[in-house]
Amino acid sequence: METTTAGAGDTAFEPSLWDDFFVSYTPPCSQMSEEWMRERAEELRMEVRRMFEAVNGMSVADLMVLVDALQRLGIDNHYQKEIYTTLSRVHTGELEILRSEELHIVALRFRLLRQHGFFVSTDVFDEFRDGTGNFNTCLTRDPKGLLSLYNAAYLAVPGEDVLDGVIAFTRTHLEAMKGNLTSPIADQICRALDIPLPRYMPQLETMHFITEYEQEDGHNATLLELARLDYCLTRSAQLKELRTFCLWWKDFYKNVNLTYSLDRGVEMYFWGFGVFPGEGNSRARIIFSKIVALISLMDDTFDTHATFEDCKNLDEAIQRKGARTRTMWLAPWTAT
């Protein structure tokens, strides 16, 4: 919400909703020390790694479920090499998928392989169609399979019109059945209908899925415990980062004194949080958030404050500065 004020076209924005909340926020004390949580998390990571070592004794269906759980629980960053190797073997047929697999597994395989850069033909869904080319009516009684197919269809490449039809078909039936289902599948369907899983922010999916995964029959207790510990450790680190960034932004915003600009430090950090997930990307998140802060001030200057002539002069000054910087950086290589 914003209100227009008198003056040179300036706009007065609403103050930040957060104020100094994250500067003074103290999270509840945990019953477990950070040192214990890190040691326990490392033990669990080794246990999960051993699951990949036993890959030859697992079905493709079990492997797909494992990889999907790792991704949605937010702990796949610890197993990028193992996941890629496993999916590569599935894609090449070294680990063969049975043609009689259920829709959920076929669609899950399609989505995971495409997400990791392996092309899979849409022909894999033909076995679920009838003689007229339409999907079998029995699929409308399989919410898990329909949801998996719906999410998979959003991995379409240009020209795959058949997947547009898949989205329309699955969306229609998911909308019709969501009111008759219970948690967690009902919640997952509502979330996907709003924003499909491939387009949903992974960190937000993790926040929901940790709770939902525990309710699934046959969930892996090791994955669940590791996800909870990893989530707590990462959240603790990010709250410290956010406090540091908010203090920097508060001081910087006061010093530049551009009162016509947005005071949105938390939202700027959230952008960096989305681009660079994981505890190990702390420096990248802070740098990215500060860049966003500078761009935000520039954007507000152009959008709400400066005249056309001011914008033109500022743009020319930026271009000159950029040209000098490029010349300076290229000088050592062009001198020879």
Radius of gyration of the chain (CA): 25
The answer to whether 272 touches 289, Cβ cutoff 8 Å, is yes
**Of 98-112, 116-130, 147-161, which gets the smallest average pLDDT?**
98-112
Which comes out higher in pLDDT, residue 11 or 51? 51
How far is residue 69's CA from residue 52's CA, in Å, rounded to a whole number? 14
Strands (E), 253-317: none
Q: What stretch of H or E contains 197?
A: none
Q: What is the pLDDT of residues 180-221, one digit of tens each?
A: 999 999 999 999 999 999 999 999 999 999 999 999 988 999
Instruction: Name the CATH code of domain 35-219 (choices 1.20.1250.20, 3.90.79.10, 1.50.10.130, 1.10.3720.10).
Output: 1.50.10.130
Q: What is the pLDDT of residues 124-170, one digit of tens each?
A: 999 999 888 889 888 999 999 999 999 999 999 999 999 999 999 99
- Residue 19, by phi and psi: left (phi above 0), alpha (psi -120 to 50) or beta? left
> Which residue carries 């948690």 as its tokens?
183
DSSP 104-161: HHHHHHHHHHHHTT----GGGGGGGB-TTSSBPGGGGG-HHHHHHHHHHHTT--TT-H
Q: What is the pLDDT of residues 191-202, one digit of tens each?
A: 999 999 999 999
How far is residue 145's CA from residue 274's CA, in Å, rounded to a whole number? 29
The answer to whether 288 touches 276, Cβ cutoff 8 Å, is yes
In the predicted structure, residue 6 carries a pLDDT above the cut 50: no
Residue 334 binned pLDDT confidence (cut-offs 50, 70, 90) = low
Nearest-CA neighbor of 178 among 147, 149, 155?
A: 147
Four-CA torsion 153, 120, 79, 51, nearest 10 degrees: 100
Token pair, residue 131, equals 């003689």
The helix-helix angle for 60-72 and 103-115 (nearest 10°) equals 60
The answer to whether 103 touches 138, Cβ cutoff 8 Å, is no
> Average pLDDT of the chain?
89
How far is residue 333's CA from residue 336's CA, in Å, rounded to a whole number? 6
pLDDT (mean) for 217-227: 95
Domain layout of the chain by residue ranges = 35-219, 233-326
The answer to whether 202 touches 277, Cβ cutoff 8 Å, is yes
- What's the confidence (pLDDT) of residue 177? 94
- What's the confidence (pLDDT) of residue 14? 84
- What's the confidence (pLDDT) of residue 331? 66
- What's the confidence (pLDDT) of residue 7? 40
DSSP 260-327: TS---HHHHHHHHHHHS-SGGGHHHHHHHHHHHHHHHHHHHIIIII--HHHHHHHHHHHHHHHHHHHH
